[in-house]
Amino acid sequence: MRIEMEFLGSGTSSGIPTIGCDCAVCMSSNPLNKRLRSSVLFRIGAGDDERRLLVDVTPDVRMQMLRAGVSSIHGVLITHTHADHCHGLDDLRGLYWGGGRVPLELWAYPESLESLKQTFAYIFDADYDYKGIVKLDPHVFDQEPFDLAGIEVLPVQVIHGSMRVAGFRIGECAYITDTNEVPPESIAKLKGVRLLILDALRRAPHPTHMSLPNALETAEKIGCERVFFTHINHDLEHEAINNELPEWARLGYDRLRVAIEEDGTISVTEPAASDLPPPISF
Ligand SMILES: [Zn+2]
Ligand SMILES: [Zn+2]
Ligand SMILES: [Zn+2]
């Protein structure tokens, strides 16, 4: 079965450009340096049978869904509840309406679900007296694989400072954001992944994120054929960094689509120039 991951966003928590910054990357006219907050859309299968799973609900989710041309999804996976990964939760209502008002399945670690219930109490309040909100069908996972819309999803626990974050493996694809360390038992769970998206914040070490050298080393340990980096900050200029990376590693960017096709080949689909973010505004 074909499995695609579309970069809905590839930027760090502030997005790039960052408010108030006039560095060369934030001021760049290259659309590949424009980064909404990190998120991917898994598209599994094709045609009417395609299953669309959204990983994280960023503050940019409305724009991300509009530009991806997506009005309905089959479920939501939450990596963790830092603001850049879940503060778009209210905007899921558009996808709830687009999906025929069937409560949206949302999967998270138990502590992440608790955190969402605190931050978005009204969404989880069955007595909330206003119709214009998303209805969710929440579920929790821990270490074991689970079924979401007929797709087997394997959660992979990684370390993000003092907290844990869920990576997600589907078949030979995996998405791992916000981590400074992938522990050995999780490397083992990722063996056989051929196509990986992985956190790489910047060149220099960071206490809660992978640096570019850490990320390359981790991808080598996993043994994937191709890796694309995400959650990128304004230290990394797209073209300059790609020129120094090995052939099998690249910076991801918004709207890039990478997939394992039905016949097992890995495909990389670049967006048309007209689909890229314009030079100044979004
Ligand atoms: Zn983040
Ligand atoms: Zn900057
Ligand atoms: Zn985080």
Q: pLDDT, tens digit, for every residue of 81-104?
A: 999 999 999 999 999 999 999 999
Q: What is the pLDDT of residue 277?
A: 67
Q: Each residue of 102-134: pLDDT tens digit?
A: 999 999 999 999 999 999 999 999 899 888 999
Q: Is the pLDDT of residue 254 over 80?
A: yes
Q: Which ligand is nearest to the CA of 20?
A: 2
Q: How remote is the CA of residue 84 from the centroid of ligand 1, in Å?
A: 5
Q: Which ligand is nearest to the CA of 234?
A: 2
Q: What is the pLDDT of residue 275?
A: 77
Q: How remote is the CA of residue 234 from the centroid of ligand 2, in Å?
A: 5
Percent of the chain with pLDDT over 70: 98
Q: In which band, very low, low, confident or very high, does the pLDDT at 72 lie, cut at 50, 70 and 90?
A: very high
Q: How remote is the CA of residue 237 from the centroid of ligand 1, in Å?
A: 19
Q: Which ligand is nearest to the CA of 12?
A: 1
For the chain, helix (H) and strand (E) counts, in that order, are: 8, 15
Tokens standing for residue 136: 């969710």
Q: Is residue 152 classed as helix, strand or coil in its secondary structure?
A: strand
Q: Which ligand is nearest to the CA of 14?
A: 1
Whether CATH 3.40.50.300 fits 3-267 = no
Q: Provide the whole-model pTM.
A: 0.97
Q: How remote is the CA of residue 138 from the centroid of ligand 2, in Å?
A: 37
Measure the CA–CA gap between 203 and 200, rounded to whole angstroms: 8
Measure the CA–CA gap between 256 and 195, rounded to whole angstroms: 14
Beta bridge partners of 251: 229
